[in-house]
Amino acid sequence: MQLVSFDLHDVRDEQDFYRQFAEKFGLHDFGNNLDALWDVLTGEVSLPLRIMLRHLPQHPAEAGLRRIVTVMQEAESETAGAFSVRTSQPL
């Protein structure tokens, strides 16, 4: 299983997360939105894959980032766990 980690101390907001996500996965035409995130996680990345999000509860843009986490959790269900997301602290 591939593990990709994001330290959210290094992420300013949702758009910055999308930029870093696209860089880490080599996505040149990533749409920088929740629909594009869904498309990538459910069909464009090699599975199995786990994404670790560190420092979410302390992040000033936590509410916006939680929308991203929600889409990731839905993708986890859609892929029967082949994709998974974890946070360093429970949601």
Q: What is the pTM of this model?
A: 0.89
Per-residue model confidence (pLDDT) at position 55: 84
Label residue 89 by pLDDT band (50, 70, 90).
low
The mean per-residue pLDDT over the stretch 45-62 comes to: 87
Q: Is the pLDDT of residue 61 over 80?
A: no
**CB-count exposure of residue 3 (10 Å: 0-12, 13-18, 19+):** exposed
Q: Is the pLDDT of residue 64 over 50?
A: yes
Label residue 90 by pLDDT band (50, 70, 90).
very low
Label residue 91 by pLDDT band (50, 70, 90).
very low
Instruction: Report how far residue 19's alpha carbon sits from residue 5's, in angstroms, rounded to the nearest whole number.
Output: 14
In order of their start, the domains of the chain are: 2-87 (3.30.370.10)
